[in-house]
A and B are shown apart, each in its own frame.
Chain A
């Protein structure tokens, strides 16, 4: 038993090293004074300074935030209404609708990207931030719906019945009882959608037009033009931002548990 645990622990630690060493190395070398070499040449902040001064990068961040916020709002509103209507009284053809709702989660992203691009080109909607936002809302809608529905499924339906019994209309019962209990899941789903939107590359790649460069597109073009410590610096910042977002979602989860 003892030997087995030691073996499992070392295998697990090896996995952790595999998962974290690349990120750690990346962050470390964002402070390296040498532009080309992978040997340590001294400490510097100059790559971060270059980042801050990059106007195009700033524009890309703005675009990403804009797309993220708007597509998250759309996906959240639509996703919650999908979850709520699916979790209520069962109806004919429900299984088909449920399957259709999950399809965007399983098909390859490349496929979704080209399909949207084709569609926009054929209906002659110019590729822009608008088309990017529409696409993000489309793949985030099912994600929000799944998260909210899981929470809805765990709620005791007798709560809403109790509210009805105490004289609430169906809408009042939903508004006053179900929605507040659902809020942590709604926020969690929205946060997830926002993160995915900020990180999305493939769908954006196919649906973005000139002047609608988002942060991942900018990162991609930087990476494509070769390794540079500026990308290391940008990566380090992105890693820290995603950690902050995880912290936020954990805080939301804790609140959810507190409400139980």
Chain B
């Protein structure tokens, strides 16, 4: 019966008068690393708290391993939460923190000790077992929090912004490590994050959330390559947009006219499903997929539009350019600084922005 590890069925949750979760339905498969990605206030943390049982849905149901969690308090749910601030018990040692859940389930010492020791080993915390949380570094605290939840072998591990409190370097290391741990233990992970790179790197599937709804659910590749809406596209970093109308359709491609730009040019784009000639569409492009040149020729690219450089920002490994395509259309472009022969452009300069038709994401309205 339980094809899914965790199911959220048409859940609605109000916080006083505000709608936090709006008829949300999601299914998470056993052993999956599933991320809820969204800005703050999108309902992702509320969803996690509903799963942990700290809040009750106003409507709908949550099932874990097929069992309804409607009237099950947090201490009886087979799910454990890794808190954003870790919430380690400050008065207990690392060992006692990790043993807490097992003690509460009244396991015998003979069972608890080896399980906690194994968790300490897996998290490389062996030498820290008698320390208090405050004597640990941020990264160590986070591993204790993980161990404290994982040692219970929950049906689902819930992670609230697990990397949010770490610094940049540690964060990138932990992304890899967290994924490795998840594969090793084979437990379903449900992770809340507002960080798109984190979600895309670690997850098997991602749900992009806004206003309490899941706007798109899919693999990182699906989300990245084919965002289903302007919000999703924007949230995962596709920030340059143009609106126009389809003039002709040839096979999988179409020509789009752009009345917003002064010369009224046309560009080549992928044909969105269901689009016909005359459909209004939005073409979205990633800043890092644009090629800038002073050369007017296409040089193998399928599209080129003129733009004026309004700002050039040196950012270490890359240059960021703010470009004006018209009075109302501004784009961003990011160009790596790697090649020594890279030409830098100066504010005021007129250049050409070039890209291939397949780089653009096309949304119909």
Contact = CB atoms under 8 A, between A and B. Distances in A.
A1 interface: yes
A2 B56 CA distance: 10
Interface string B46-63: 000000001010000000
Contacts of A2: 56
A1 B55 CA distance: 8
Interface residues on B, range: under 10
Task: Give the dominant DSSP class at B's interface.
Answer: loop
A3 to B, nearest CB: 10
A1 B73 CA distance: 8
Nearest to B73: A1
Nearest to A1: B54
A230 to B, nearest CB: 49
A6 to B, nearest CB: 14
A223 B186 CA distance: 76
Interface in B62-85: 73
Nearest to A2: B56
A5 to B, nearest CB: 12
Contacts of B73: 1
B11 to A, nearest CB: 17
Nearest to A3: B73
Contacts of B56: 2
B91 to A, nearest CB: 22
A1 B50 CA distance: 13
Interface string B27-47: 000000000000000000000
B71 to A, nearest CB: 11
A254 to B, nearest CB: 27
Contacts of A1: 54, 73
B74 to A, nearest CB: 8
A128 B54 CA distance: 64
A7 to B, nearest CB: 15
A129 B280 CA distance: 93
Nearest to B55: A1
Nearest to B74: A1
A117 to B, nearest CB: 48
Contacts of B54: 1
Interface in A1-50: 1-2
Nearest to B53: A1
A23 to B, nearest CB: 34
A239 B54 CA distance: 43
A4 to B, nearest CB: 10
A2 B73 CA distance: 11
A106 B54 CA distance: 44
A1 B74 CA distance: 10
Interface of B: 54, 56, 73
Interface of A: 1-2
**A-B CB proximity, top 3 nearest:** A1-B54, A1-B73, A2-B56
3 contacts: A1-B54, A1-B73, A2-B56
